[in-house]
Amino acid sequence: MRLVCLGDLLLDVIVGLEAPLIPGDDRPATTRLGAGGQAANVAAWASSLGAEARFIGKRGTDMASRLLAAELEARGVALAGPCEGRSGVVVSLSSAGERSMASDRGSAAELRADELDPAWFACEWLHVSGYALAREPIASAALHAAGLARAGGARVSVDLSSEALIDADFRERVSQLEAELVFATEREAERFGALPARALLKRGAAGVSLDGVEFPALATELRDTTGAGDALAAGMLVGDVSLGLEAAARCCARLGSMP
């Protein structure tokens, strides 16, 4: 099974806090640096679950970008796309199983449609990160990618990614994508309105809902929820809901978004 993921490859800075931050003071923390970004996470989890996975996106030319590419390739993921500019960075603060993020996407959002090679999209599924639909020129690249993938018989999925992204332009681009499957949290789905396709609703500790059927989350030692939704998406696309929930539980039990 071949899965192609289009979006961001970023430097993930994961900060696990023992207690909430105190303004102007210090708190003990456990930190982790590594590859991240929604599309890169899904590709890495898919590879760990036995799929042939490819990441497509614009990466920087700085040292951080080279290290991130090497890590993703070491996880069995093929990389495609131009290298230009600088790496993006996401800082994720995690405390008591909850997380907040600060994102700098670097050059990732500058991917253009004319930089895509049709040969990259020979796959069963193209998974598009919602972040790729939030601004131009990468939004047009994502829509073009969907056409290239479908020309080869692939299906398309999309993750709404963040409630903060959802506005009129975002809704229009998601509709134009004509995805066969949408991943969304309940809050994202509520803000979006009527979803244009079959939807897998992510309900946190309550599990997921698909086609009106509720699937409970698996028991796990909750350490960090960063990347759990990406693990879920990978498992669902590679296998089924059960494999997605298993991958999400594994992700929650460790610090960081990669398998």
Tell whether 129 is covered by a domain.
Answer: yes
Reduced to 3 states (helix: H, G, I; strand: E, B; else coil), residue 86 is: coil
Domain count within the chain: 1
Using alpha carbons, list the distances in angstroms from residue 155 to 15, 103, 151, 213, 235: 36, 29, 10, 22, 16
Task: Provide the sign of the torsion angle of the four alpha carbons 107, 108, 113, 117, taken in this order.
Answer: positive
pLDDT of residue 15: 84
Tell whether 258 is covered by a domain.
Answer: no
Instruction: Round to whole Å and give the CA distance between 44 and 2.
Output: 12
Segments forming the whole domain that contains residue 59? 2-6+36-87+109-252
pLDDT of residue 164: 94
Tell whether 213 is covered by a domain.
Answer: yes
Q: How much is the pTM?
A: 0.92
110-152 per-position pLDDT tens digit: 999 999 999 999 999 999 999 999 999 999 999 999 999 999 9
The domain that holds 188 is classified in CATH as 3.40.1190.20
Q: Give CA torsion, residues 50, 69, 101, 225, to 10 deg.
A: 20
Tell whether 142 is covered by a domain.
Answer: yes
Residue type for position 117: D
Tell whether 104 is covered by a domain.
Answer: no
Own/partner contacts of 143-151, CB < 8 Å, gap of 24 or more, are: 143/113, 143/173, 143/176, 143/177, 144/113, 144/116, 145/6, 145/56, 145/113, 145/116, 145/121, 146/177, 146/178, 146/179, 148/116, 148/118, 148/120, 148/121, 149/4, 149/121, 149/123, 151/118, 151/121
pLDDT under 70 in the chain at which residues? 96-98
Tell whether 12 is covered by a domain.
Answer: no
| Chain-centroid distance, C-alpha 177 | 17
Tell whether 119 is covered by a domain.
Answer: yes
Tell whether 146 is covered by a domain.
Answer: yes
DSSP string, 107-144: TGGG--GGG--GGGG-SSEEEEEGGGGSSTTHHHHHHH
**Residue 127: which residues within 8 A CB-CB, separation 6 or more?**
3, 4, 5, 6, 39, 42, 156, 157, 158, 159, 233, 237
pLDDT of residue 182: 98
The pair of structure tokens assigned to 193 is: 């309105």
